[in-house]
């Protein structure tokens, strides 16, 4: 997992509330066995019509937001099914930060484990960022996980909170496997000792 400290990027505004995980990554794509490649199907039912033709009115199809790594959305983002694929799709597409007033609990956990910083701001602050991202060309934000701040070049400044353990993992680029491997030497020692004791007990039984 890539460590995250500061993200400066164009902001993509998704002016919708209650964005559920089936919209983030529709169920027909959950048959894939890889963890990569889901970015192509992010918000698929909104990005394209039934014939698979891109909808020019959807934000991610707008050339102004190409390469955006920060997404601003309405409240209750990530609700619905608990599929981790939603976080995979956002990360694979390139998003490293999602800003919203509230997030669904399970999605909040899944996103953090997949290298995505979720920033909770007030509805008024989110509305301001949404308006700026929609109306100002090349509107950018800087999100600092080190300082826990969100800033732009127009005077916007906000503080946010992140659980200390999740913040540590994001700063160090550690997912659950990475955390476990930090104790690899101790685990190897334990396993070697366990195997030694097992064979000693086996000899006694014989």
pLDDT band for position 189 (50/70/90)? low
Which one-letter DSSP state was computed for residue 27?
G
Is 1 among the domain residues? no
> Is the model more confident about 173 or about 123?
123
Question: Do residue 66 and residue 152 come from a single domain?
Answer: yes
The rounded distance, in Å, linking the Cα atoms of 36 and 38 is 6
Please choose, from the candidates 94, 147, 93, 138, the residue with its C-alpha nearest in 3D space to the C-alpha of residue 119: 147
* Residue 110, domain CATH: 3.20.19.10
Is residue 107 a contact partner of residue 87, using CB atoms and an 8 Å limit?
yes
Question: Do residue 187 and residue 121 come from a single domain?
Answer: no
Instruction: Provide the pLDDT for residue 52.
Output: 83
Question: Do residue 125 and residue 155 come from a single domain?
Answer: yes
Range of the domain at 183: 175-206
Is 131 among the domain residues? yes
Tell me how crowded residue 62 is: count the other CB atoms within 10 A of its CB.
14
Helix (H, G, I), strand (E, B) or coil at 159: strand
Question: Do residue 97 and residue 195 come from a single domain?
Answer: no
Instruction: Provide the pLDDT for residue 194.
Output: 59
Number of domains in the chain: 2
What is this structure's pTM?
0.85
Please choose, from the candidates 15, 8, 13, 14, the residue with its C-alpha nearest in 3D space to the C-alpha of residue 150: 8
Instruction: Provide the pLDDT for residue 154.
Output: 94
Question: Do residue 48 and residue 85 come from a single domain?
Answer: yes
Instruction: Provide the pLDDT for residue 203.
Output: 56
- Averaged confidence pLDDT in the chain: 89
């Amino acid at each position: 997992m890539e460590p995250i400290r500061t993200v400066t990027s164009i902001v993509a505004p998704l002016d919708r509330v209650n964005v559920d995980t089936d919209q983030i990554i529709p169920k027909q794509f959950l048959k894939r066995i890889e963890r990569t490649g889901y970015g192509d199907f992010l918000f698929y039912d909104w990005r394209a019509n039934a014939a698979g033709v891109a909808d020019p009115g959807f934000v991610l199809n707008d050339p102004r937001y190409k390469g955006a790594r920060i997404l601003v959305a309405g409240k209750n983002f990530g609700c619905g099914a608990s599929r981790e694929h939603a976080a995979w799709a956002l990360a694979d597409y390139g998003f490293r930060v999602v800003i919203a007033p509230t997030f669904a609990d399970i999605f909040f956990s899944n996103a953090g484990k997949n290298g995505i910083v979720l920033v909770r701001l007030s509805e008024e602050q989110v509305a301001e960022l949404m308006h700026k991202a929609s109306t100002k060309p090349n509107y950018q934000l800087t999100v600092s996980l080190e300082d826990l701040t969100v800033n732009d070049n127009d005077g916007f400044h906000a503080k946010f909170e992140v659980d200390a353990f999740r913040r540590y993992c994001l700063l160090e680029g550690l997912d659950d496997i990475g955390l476990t491997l930090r104790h690899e030497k101790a685990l190897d020692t334990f396993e070697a000792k366990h195997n030694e004791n097992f064979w000693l007990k086996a000899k006694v039984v014989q």
